């Protein structure tokens, strides 16, 4: 009898609280794909951030460049040959990555007001975590990381090349044919709210890590700016290696770690799928959004703290409703069953018993509706 009477309250306590919680999130631009996600978010023990486009704005810009004569690869020049310029723009326009867009914009700016026709690109191939290669006008062009450049330029780099191994900026290499043609240094801005969000999770005793495909110095510069210790930074990681980082954190504990991965790019999709909770930035790629369990539509990291706080409130409210429903029914069922009638001549008429049972459901619903009073832990100063 107790099971049948309490059953309705159990259904109501879960569904109402989840419905209110997800609607609050939706109004704030946080899309949660299921109620199970809220429970997982409330239990996370570790948050892993991607760097570019997540902790940073993703609006990269070229701040320095070094250009070489592509055929002899010997002397530094002020401008690239026209065909190399066209090739760089043509290849980078094959990609939607923020780095590719920044390089293409910069190279077009080198030409000033001069208009040029972008050549046709064939055999384009994007290599996750490394860059892109393509054939332009019969010449192989490779644009991306240092490792990709070394593979594409077997004869090595010109002596005039500046050592960028210790720079804190993102470095992009261009190989035209088999010779290094250009090096671009890009800089990204750290999101203004990133440090506050990291501090929030630290205050909640959560482990905060950062994983990036960028060079170590660039990754450490961002980590130091937002308050992530150097020991918690994983730099130079390919997409598959990001998955390994997530997997190792999940298994590196006597108690199973609940890991939340936050990313925005196509390179983050495997890690988003591997994590217990994958959270995508709304301005990210469609693949990342499709893979993630929750999406921050406003592309603000403050919403991640809001999601975590909201999930904890929802789960706490569900538990409170459960305790209330059990206690209420344990007290009222004996009265309705007439247990105290022969002892103290106390009886609950059927009309009042039915009303009391209805009130049990009403109080659970009202308790869940109190979630509408939720306030985010980090307020946007602009609002």
Residues near 271 by beta carbon (within 8 Å), at least 6 away in sequence: 48, 50, 211, 239, 242, 243, 245, 246, 261, 263, 278
109: Cβ contacts below 8 Å, ≥ 6 apart: none
Kindly list the distances between the CA atom of residue 140 and the CA atoms of 14, 127, 327, in Å, as whole numbers in the listed order.
59, 15, 74
Q: Which residues of 288-300 are buried (b: 16+ CB within 10 A; e: fewer)?
A: bbebbbbbbbbbb
Q: Is 83 a catalytic residue?
A: no
**Active-site pick, 50, 214, 264, 293:** 50
DSSP string, 287-354: HHHHH-SEEETT--THHHHHHHHHHHHHHHHHHHHHHHHHHHHHHHHHHHHTTTHHHH-----HHHHH
Annotated active-site positions, please? 50
């Amino acid at each position: 009898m107790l099971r049948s009477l309490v059953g309705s309250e159990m259904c109501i306590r879960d569904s109402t609280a989840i419905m209110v919680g997800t609607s609050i999130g939706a109004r704030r631009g946080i899309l949660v794909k299921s109620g199970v996600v809220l429970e997982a978010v409330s239990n996370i023990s570790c948050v892993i951030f991607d760097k570019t486009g997540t902790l940073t704005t993703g609006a990269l810009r070229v701040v320095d460049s070094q250009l070489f004569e592509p055929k002899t690869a010997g002397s530094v020049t002020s401008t690239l040959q026209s065909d190399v310029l066209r090739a760089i723009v043509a290849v980078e326009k094959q990609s939607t990555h923020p780095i590719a867009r920044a390089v293409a914009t910069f190279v077009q700016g080198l030409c000033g007001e001069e208009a040029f026709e972008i050549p046709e690109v064939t055999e384009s191939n994007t290599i996750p975590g490394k860059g892109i290669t393509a054939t332009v006008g019969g010449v192989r062009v490779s644009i991306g990381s240092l490792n990709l450049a070394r593979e594409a330029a077997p004869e090595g780099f010109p002596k005039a090349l500046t050592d960028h191994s210790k720079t804190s900026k993102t470095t992009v290499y261009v190989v035209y044919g088999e010779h290094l043609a250009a090096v671009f240094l890009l800089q990204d801005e750290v999101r203004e709210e990133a440090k506050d969000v990291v501090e929030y999770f630290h205050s909640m005793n959560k482990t905060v890590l950062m994983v990036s495909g960028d060079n170590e110095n660039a990754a450490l510069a961002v980590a130091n700016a937002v308050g992530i210790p150097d020991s918690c930074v994983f730099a130079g990681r390919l997409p598959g290696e990001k998955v390994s980082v997530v997997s190792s954190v999940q298994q590196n504990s006597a108690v199973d770690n609940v890991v939340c991965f936050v990313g925005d790019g196509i390179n983050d999709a495997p890690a988003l799928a591997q994590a217990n909770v994958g959270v995508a930035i709304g301005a990210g790629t469609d693949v990342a959004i499709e893979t993630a369990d929750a999406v921050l539509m406003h592309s603000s990291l403050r919403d991640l703290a809001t999601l975590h706080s909201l999930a904890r409130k929802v789960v706490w409210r569900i538990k409170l409703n459960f305790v209330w429903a059990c206690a209420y029914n344990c007290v009222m069922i004996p009265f309705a069953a007439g247990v105290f009638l022969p002892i103290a001549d106390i009886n609950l008429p059927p009309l009042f018993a039915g009303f009391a049972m209805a009130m049990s459901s009403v109080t659970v619903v009202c308790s869940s509706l109190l979630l509408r009073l939720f306030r985010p832990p980090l307020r946007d100063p602009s609002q």
